[in-house]
Amino acid sequence: MAINQMPHNSDAEEALLACILIDSEAQADLLEMLREGDFYQESHQVILAAMKAVYGSRKPVDIVTLTDRLEREGKLERAGGIVYITELAQFMPSAANYRQYFQIVRRDAVNRALIRAAKEIVENSMKGYEEREAVAFAEKLIYDISKKEDGSTLEDMTDGEIIQQVIGKFENIQADPNAFRGVETGFRPFDRITNGLQPSDLIVLAARPGMGKTSLAMNIVENACLKRNGVAAVFSLEMPRVQIVQRLLCSYADVSMEKALSGKLVQKDWKRLMLASDRLQKSKVFIDDSSRVTPTEILSKCRRLKSREGRLDLVMIDYIQLMGGESKYSNSENRQQEIASITRDLKIMAKELNVPVLALSQLRRIQTKEPQLSDLRESGAIEQDADIVVFINRPEATATPEEMAKKSIVKGAAELIIAKHRNGSCGRIQLRFIGESTKFVDVDAQGEPNEEPQYVRRTPEFGENPSAEQSFPPQDGGEIPFD
């Protein structure tokens, strides 16, 4: 091979095309796996395209059908002529080693793609873009190549391997209910419903301004990292890093942030802060306070963090509506499409990184007391892409002066409403909000009984009893209906 030639192996390419012509079993596998760009020689690209067209029309791929297709498309000469097609059919006596030929061709195709990407990276770097943009451009090119190679195929269940994996999972859970528990939030009733925040899930935490979205999210980060030694990436588009650390420190130390900011701390508070600061320094909480960050940049940073630390347990983003999207959706009238693109990318990111992604979201400013899915601001795609949607409801924050005067509102009472749960039941969780230290706690943490969560049945299917909601598990040992 000449020094300036791109990597390729003409013999392996010819062998693959020959295998397709002489073996129907290899034909089905290869035509599914191969792409035209996998071949270096143009004539081989033309032949493969014609083979795929013949195969797609439900005809056998042989010399007659292939040459007929090429001739009708006017590409027979570009493919090398009928003599070359005939020679291909006689090139291989057996297709037994077609998988080895395929590996050679795919290896060279990947190397060619990397060389082209490297050239683009060099050209882009010469333009003098900002460091973050240049790195994101390079990472995206390499990631796109990797993603193309990470293909999957349809597989049947005849070997029983997948079924045994599921049965094995159920057996492990039967022996240990915590075997597949996700990232624990620290709120026990919530963790009982969700079994923790599961890998690859997109969890949307939504509320109106001032309800404590960031506080609750940081309480979850605190439980995952400071109390359970996890690794979390926090992307704060609204607050600077110092304010995030301020919340974490006061919450973990159980010290009033109001007193800390007004200079009224006592010796006991300082001792708690010193112990908490020591623990925080040893934790694996990574904070990025860049404004208008995009999903692509978040994915790049999280991919590097996971590679460096060897693990990543949680990603928290505060909040969706402050994120930037692709430039094609930059106009204000297309903001809904931009948000839809962002949430779709966040779900794909959760799946690729195999970590739960906790994304905060605003709600529309409405008059109703209790939030619902239709209140999610700017896009219904948030509801569609999320695996779990949780609302924060604090009656105290929306109460009128008359209601407060009547003392009909319990001070500090808070409720988590699980409005969507793709892999389980919906429900309501009673919590208490401690404003001075900006933290949520379980009700029983304040000395009151912690009630079992009430599971709310989803909208009934056709033919079911159309009651608005039904609490379960049912009493008296009744059966739990499938959701």
Residue 204, strand partner residues: 359, 389
Helix, strand, coil distribution of the chain in percent, nearest 5: 50, 15, 35
Which amino acid belongs to residue 321? Q
Contact 275, 226 (CB under 8 A): no
Which amino acid belongs to residue 21? L
Residue 194, strand partner residues: none
Sign of CA dihedral 229, 177, 391, 422: positive
CA 450 to chain CA centroid, Å, is 32
Place of tokens 């300036």: 4
The active-site residue out of 73, 238, 378, 415 is: 238
For the question of residue 238 being annotated catalytic, the response is yes
User: Residue by residue, what is the 3-state secondary structure of 366-379?
Assistant: CCCCCCCHHHECCC
**Which of 279, 338, 339, 288 is CA-nearest to residue 318?**
288
Length of the chain in residues, anyone? 483
Q: Spell out the residues 6+ positions from residue 212 whose beta carbon is closer than 8 angstroms to its own.
A: 392, 394, 414, 433, 438, 440
Residue 239, strand partner residues: none
Rounded CA Rg of the chain = 29
Task: Show the DSSP H helices in 73-212 as ranges.
Answer: 81-89, 98-126, 131-149, 161-175, 188-194
For residues 90 and 18, what is the distance between their CA atoms, to the nearest angstrom? Answer: 7
Catalytically active residues are 238
